[in-house]
């Protein structure tokens, strides 16, 4: 366990045909996925106060999408200050 583990946040993003369709098991639109993941990134210090929450959300969703081996599946994203790690879960 690192000192940053207490600051970690995690979210599971589910994709279908390459588009985000759920965040932590809740069905969402693409716009909602960007907003929710951006809010999580901001809450964990990964967004400057002046930066757009949607831009941060897009970065999180894009990073998760790159981790998929196919167009459909789920990726668990762990966010920490100074660290962004993804893990395929399905």
pLDDT at 21: 96
We find that the CATH architecture of domain 5-88 is 2-Layer Sandwich (3.30)
Q: pLDDT tens digits, the chain, 90 residues: what are they?
A: 333 344 457 889 999 999 999 999 999 999 999 999 988 888 877 766 666 777 888 888 888 888 888 888 998 887 765 444 444 444
pLDDT at 19: 94
For 78, residues 6+ apart whose C-beta sits below 8 A from its C-beta are 8, 9, 10, 84, 85, 86, 87
DSSP string, 10-64: EEEEEEETTEEEEETTEE--HHHHHHHHHHHHHHTT-S-TTS-HHHHHHHHHHHH
pLDDT at 83: 40
Query: Could you tell me the residue ranges of all domains in the chain?
Result: 5-88
pLDDT at 38: 87
């Amino acid at each position: 366990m690192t000192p940053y583990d207490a600051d970690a946040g995690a979210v599971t993003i589910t994709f279908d045909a390459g588009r985000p369709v759920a965040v932590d098991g809740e069905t969402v639109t693409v716009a909602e996925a960007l907003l929710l993941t951006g809010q999580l990134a901001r809450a964990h210090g990964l967004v400057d106060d002046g930066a757009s929450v949607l831009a941060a959300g897009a970065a999180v969703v894009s990073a998760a999408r790159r981790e998929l081996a196919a167009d459909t599946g789920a990726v668990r994203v762990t966010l920490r200050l100074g660290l962004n790690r993804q893990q395929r879960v399905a």
